[in-house]
Amino acid sequence: MHVLRYGYVAGPLIGAFWAPVMAIVACITVSFLTGEGLRPTLIPCAALGFWLGYAGLPARGRELAPRLVRAGLLAVVPALAILLLGSAIVPAADATPVHAVALAWVIFVLASVWPVRAMLRPLPHGRATRHEFEEAVIRFLTGFGYVFFTAIVAVPFYVMVMTSLKNQSELLQNPLDFTIDLSKGWELLRSYQELFADFNFGSYLWTSFYISVITVLLTLLFSVPGAYAVARLRFKGQKAFSRSILLIYMVPMIVLALPIYIAFSMAGLRNTVIGILLIYPVTTIPVALYMLQGYFRGLPAEVEEAGLMDGLNRLQVIWKITLPLALPALASVSLYVFMIAWNEFLLAFMLLDDPSKFTLTRGIASLDSSEVPRQHLMAGAVISTVPIMTLFLGLERFMTKGLTAGSVKG
């Protein structure tokens, strides 16, 4: 296999890109934890990462030149590190305490050294095959993706939680300070207490819960026989129906919202829970049909044929044989539909005007007002997010199992 001298280039470049990213992460982390402003200087960070990318290349064989170069680099590393670290992360203000800058340095070094060495592990010193080079690049892109998407999710959630634990005077004094005073104790949860006491959030939670549960039951009631028919039975238009199940999702919901609003107003279903329970399954049945029909096709047809030969009718076969085998898929579809119904906002916003019938998302929208403190809005967002996030993380393995089981036929 042809050997390319990519190691000398790929290693330093990976380090030069990775180190500034970690400097930004370190500054943001320390700023959120301490409330002190820090900023990274990208050129010194990139220079330090460039050196780290070269020094972290694993040596192959007993080549003298790379070892001499490495020995020279290791000899100047203390002075270089002190020089670059001193200018890599700097305080945004003169009053920034030293311990905040030192903590950012520690996070920066720990988040740079070990990951860079792990990324360069498949890359020999100065020489690399194309596959070794590609593996190192893939490791770098994977690590960057983890950091980037984690930050997108974690930073807004952290800001949301910290803001919900503050009072109005603290927010007016410094809206960008996301630290909290733990000495306040239960006083930190005052916004949550006021939501349930003054804004009827207990009713919103209960309404969203039972609407989501009923939506799941109605969806399964219609999607299970429909998916089974598409997967097992032979009838005219079967292939066309199977291919057109998801056509409804090609039309944006905002386009359908106005006709739905007019029709429900004329039928007297607007501002009623029954109207919500009629429209939510319409948005969830197609995706449940699509997911279940793929799973049913993966189940062995011989088992059902044996049941038919034993005297069972088609409904008994579905109830006694197919559904027990499809429990993982049913669990994953139920969880997915529950999350859709729990988080739905547009239809609830258009169809519900009575606060006594608000779902949780509609109740949170009512807090978006200049008359309601911002910490109450953030507390409502936390209340809406945490239950469904806990449910998803707790049942994620069942959902993954249900989505992947039956995908391999043998």
> What's the pLDDT tens digit per position in 328-351?
888 889 998 999 999 999 999 999
Residues in Cβ contact with 49 at an 8 Å cutoff, skipping those fewer than 6 apart: 12, 15, 16, 17, 18, 19, 20, 112, 116
> What's the pLDDT tens digit per position in 128-162?
777 777 888 888 899 899 999 888 888 888 888 88
Which alpha helices (H) appear in 128-189, and where do they start and end?
Answer: 130-164, 168-173
Tell me which residue of 105, 61, 100 sits closest to 82, measured CA to CA: 105
> What's the pLDDT tens digit per position in 199-254?
888 899 999 999 999 999 999 999 998 888 888 878 787 777 777 777 777 888 88
Most confident of 67-81, 195-209, 393-407: 195-209
Q: Report how far residue 177's alpha carbon sits from residue 173's, in angstroms, rounded to the nearest whole number.
A: 9
Q: What DSSP assignment string belongs to 295-354?
A: HHHHS-HHHHHHHHHTT--HHHHIIIIIHHHTHHHHHHHHHHHHHHHHH--HHHHHH---
With a pLDDT cut of 70, the percent of the chain lying above it is 84
71: confidence class by pLDDT, cuts 50, 70, 90: low
Q: Which residue has the higher pLDDT, 217 or 97?
A: 217
pLDDT score for 77: 56
- Do residues 38 and 30 lie in contact, with contact meaning Cβ atoms separated by under 8 Å? yes
38 in helix, strand or coil? strand
- 245: exposed, middle or buried (Cβ count in 10 Å: 0-12, 13-18, 19+): buried
Q: Report how far residue 398's alpha carbon sits from residue 380's, in angstroms, rounded to the nearest whole number.
A: 28
